[in-house]
């Protein structure tokens, strides 16, 4: 077993990284998802099998003073069990597919290509697979459905919110447009419990679509359609925020009602969620023995020109307290 990637141009480039040694590569694959990388969820990185998320809630604590001791409140301990699911990536490449690239010199000029994949491409391969896993994980975090039609998914935050009876659902959600986005955002904010509003890590999570519509609405284009639904040309180019149309937005942060907006790249189009980032969880086991990243040169095994990459990891998402989450699913 090797504890570092060293895919030099040798006859056999097979390398195996398991358990904690695979952790840094699994980390690059999973934790590079934008929702995780940008701090949208609380990460539990070392869950080997399962973990319990506990929250303590109390009622009114202060009572009138007396000479006797009398419990002034009840303590309610709630817990959610998060158990990462096991996943794998299997990929096979043919060395000959790369013989005409600039890396062919490292592969050797022989048609047999005894040197295996060039080291630079082997490194690229691991990085490329990691980026693809990160992109898939970004979608999984939000819309994953364990046991659904699509394999390789765990239950995402939208799926969990929809199934949790304690989550605060916005009634009668609709398809979002530039004309209604501000009103619908307000409905989400209005449903946020008073005790939650103003918390430092409270965020309004919105989809890419919702973020674009919000920017467009603030640019003065929210009234672009008239009541009949046909184009109202006269409203185009409305002044909007600071009389700058959509040019006011330069890609920085957004907020609504004093709440930072977090764009969840993997969220469904017409979905919004208000929650504390500390109440949304992603769990994996970076030190789990199940973790594995393996690059296998098949030439000495079966005489083929193939190289296989295997990646194994665990992942799961969870909502801590459903009653502290507002869910809009248009």
The domain spans of the chain are 15-56+76-329
Q: Give the bridge partners for 22, in sequence order.
A: none
Tell which residue, 261, 274, 269, 267, has the closest CA to residue 169: 274
Tokens of 63: 């009572």
Q: Tens digits of per-residue pLDDT, 16-50?
A: 444 444 455 566 667 778 999 999 999 988 888 88
Q: Which residue has 């799961």 as its token pair?
A: 316
Give residue 171's pLDDT.
97
Give residue 5's pLDDT.
30
Give residue 127's pLDDT.
72
CATH of 15-56+76-329 given 1.10.3470, 1.10.40, 3.40.630, 3.90.1690: 3.90.1690
Phi/psi at 260 (nearest 5 deg)? -60, 140
Q: Tell me how crowded residue 7 is: count the other CB atoms within 10 A of its CB.
A: 22
Compute the CA torsion angle 179, 181, 183, 189 (nearest 10 deg): -170
Q: Tell me how far apart the alpha carbons of residues 29 and 183 are, in angstroms, rounded to a whole number.
A: 38
Q: Tens digits of per-residue pLDDT, 179-218?
A: 999 999 999 999 999 989 999 999 999 999 999 999 888 8
What is the maximum alpha-carbon separation in the chain?
94
Tokens of 295: 């690059």
Rounded to the nearest integer, the mean pLDDT of the chain is 77
* Residue 67, CA distances (Å) to 63, 64, 70 in order: 12, 10, 9
Give residue 17's pLDDT.
44
* pLDDT: which is higher, 117 or 283: 283
Q: Cα 117 to the chain's mean position, in Å?
A: 32
Q: Tell me how far apart the alpha carbons of residues 175 and 229 are, in angstroms, rounded to a whole number.
A: 14
């Amino acid at each position: 077993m090797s504890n570092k990637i060293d895919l030099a141009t040798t006859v056999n480039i097979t390398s195996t990284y398991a358990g904690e040694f695979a952790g840094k590569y699994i980390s690059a694959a999973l934790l590079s998802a934008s929702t995780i990388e940008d701090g949208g969820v609380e990460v539990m990185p070392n869950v080997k099998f399962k973990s319990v998320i506990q929250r303590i809630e109390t009622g009114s604590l202060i009572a009138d003073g007396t000479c006797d001791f009398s419990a002034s409140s009840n303590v309610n301990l709630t817990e959610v069990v998060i158990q990462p699911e096991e996943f794998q990536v299997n990929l096979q490449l043919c060395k000959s597919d790369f013989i005409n690239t600039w890396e062919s010199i490292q592969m050797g000029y022989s048609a047999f290509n005894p040197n295996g994949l060039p080291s630079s491409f082997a490194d690229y391969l691991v990085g490329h697979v990691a980026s693809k896993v990160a992109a898939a994980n970004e979608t999984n975090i939000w819309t994953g459905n364990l046991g659904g039609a699509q394999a390789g998914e765990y239950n995402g935050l939208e799926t969990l919110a929809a199934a949790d009876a304690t989550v605060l659902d916005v009634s009668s959600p609709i398809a979002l447009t530039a004309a209604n986005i501000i009103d619908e955002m307000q409905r989400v904010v209005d449903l946020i419990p008073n005790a939650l509003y103003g918390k430092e890590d409270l965020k309004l999570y919105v989809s890419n679509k919702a973020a674009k519509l919000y920017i467009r609405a603030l640019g003065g284009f929210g009234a672009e359609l008239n009541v009949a639904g046909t184009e109202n040309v006269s409203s185009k180019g409305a002044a909007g925020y600071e009389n700058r149309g959509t040019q006011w937005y330069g890609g920085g942060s957004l907020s609504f009602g004093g709440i930072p907006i977090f764009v969840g790249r993997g969220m469904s189009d017409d979905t919004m969620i208000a929650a504390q980032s500390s109440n949304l969880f992603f769990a994996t086991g970076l030190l789990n023995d199940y973790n594995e990243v393996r690059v296998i040169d098949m030439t000495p095994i079966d005489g083929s020109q193939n190289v296989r990459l295997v990646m194994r990891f665990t992942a799961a998402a969870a909502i801590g307290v459903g009653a502290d989450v507002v869910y809009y699913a248009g």
